[in-house]
Amino acid sequence: MKYGKFLPEKGTIGFVAPSFGCNIEPYKTAFDHSAEIWVQKGYNLNCGPNVYEGSGIGISNTPEKCAEEFNKWYVSKENDVLISCGGGELMCGILDYVDFDSIRQAEPKWFMGYSDNTNLTFLLTTLCDTAAVYGPCAAAFGMEPWHESLNDAYRLLTGQSREVHGYAQWEKESLKTEENPLEPYNLTEEKILRRFPDADCQMEGRLLGGCLDCLVTLCGTSFDKVDAFNEKYKEDGIIWFMESCDLNVMSIRRALWQLEHAGWFKYTKGFLIGRPLCFGEELMGMDQYRAVTEVLAHYNVPIIMDVDLGHLAPMMPLVCGSVGHVKVEGNDISIKMEYR
């Protein structure tokens, strides 16, 4: 596994928009303010041509132009790390134009984003053997003050830390609006881990995953090289981390069924499941917990649910491709990431 160089002091952050850009509020003002914060910290900025674009469908620009931006900014010597501007809906459409061969041969570089950015964070790892950060997008760094999770992401990118911990509270309803674009997370809910089986545990394995909406879309396509990845790292085993955005509880169950039958979980050491955006939903007797456990319980590995991952902030930034050392004690979770 290859790892990018850490963001150095006075280094340059590249911003790209392979999914949505920051062309509308509250994202534009939040991104602009995040840029001010990064400059105050002493960093330089290298913005791609699609950062403020909104002419695409489900993404910032045409699939060709989004891919062209990413290809150029990834191999460029003018930036040290890349952060995606935002999530979106149709980043999968750019994949036919992403030059994974050139990226595979290039000097590795950190790329960070989540949600729709799974199309890159997951494929950089499984296609290019290059670690990526499943973490906050650019506009989140515009909030005042930064939440601890943003400091965690910053410390990962700069190499100051390789460990994250769960957070005490989470946001069910955001207060961020067009009129209040810099609002911090509205932390009203207590974080309560659901553990199956209900016991403390430790697990170790390659961290792999992302947004389930995107993972199930990639499954079975020409970009699906999970079987080869599994075989290469079978001695390490895989800790799957997953969360969901648009999927309801039935869709989550169907998606996990599909990934299971595609053989993705062959060497699993455990599962970290983030709070779904449909948190609390129940359909025909199916809830978010049964949707997961009734498919995955037969692996006889720990399943930790309602983890700080994904769309119901805050989220622990995780290095996809690293070796995770996970410890769950009561309602606390810590993850140390080993870069080998």
- For the chain, residues with pLDDT lower than 50 are none
| pLDDT score, position 155 | 98
> pLDDT tens for residues 137-182?
999 999 999 999 999 999 999 999 999 999 999 999 999 999 999 9
Tokens of 248: 């309801």
Q: Provide the whole-model pTM.
A: 0.97
Nearest to 37 by CA among 162, 139, 174, 111: 139
One-character DSSP codes across 99-153: -HHHHHHSPP--EEE-GGGHHHHHHHHHHH-B-EEE---GGGGGSSSPPHHHHHH
Q: How high is the pLDDT of residue 222? A: 98
Q: Identify the pLDDT of residue 291.
A: 98
pLDDT of residue 79: 98
CB 337 within 8 A of CB 207: yes
- The predicted structure's pLDDT at residue 28: 97
List the catalytic residue out of 243, 244, 322, 325. 243
Catalytic residue among 69, 311, 322, 325: 311
| 261 a catalytic residue | no
Query: Which conformational region is residue 169 in: left (phi greater than 0), alpha (psi within -120 to 50 degrees), or beta?
Result: beta
Q: What is the mean pLDDT of the chain?
A: 98
Does 33 participate in catalysis according to the annotation?
A: no
Beta-bridged to residue 303, according to DSSP, are 196, 271
CATH number, domain 169-338: 3.50.30.60
Q: Which CATH number is associated with domain 12-162?
A: 3.40.50.10740
With contact defined as beta carbons under 8 Å apart, do 266 and 206 qualify? no
Indicate which residue of 60, 115, 149, 244 is catalytic.
115
Domain ranges of the chain: 12-162, 169-338
311 labelled catalytic? yes
Q: Do 12-162 and 169-338 come out as alike in CATH topology?
A: no
Task: State which H helix or E strand residue 229 sits in.
Answer: helix 226-232
What pLDDT is recorded for position 277?
A: 96
Q: How high is the pLDDT of residue 209?
A: 98
Helix (H) or strand (E) holding 12: strand 12-16
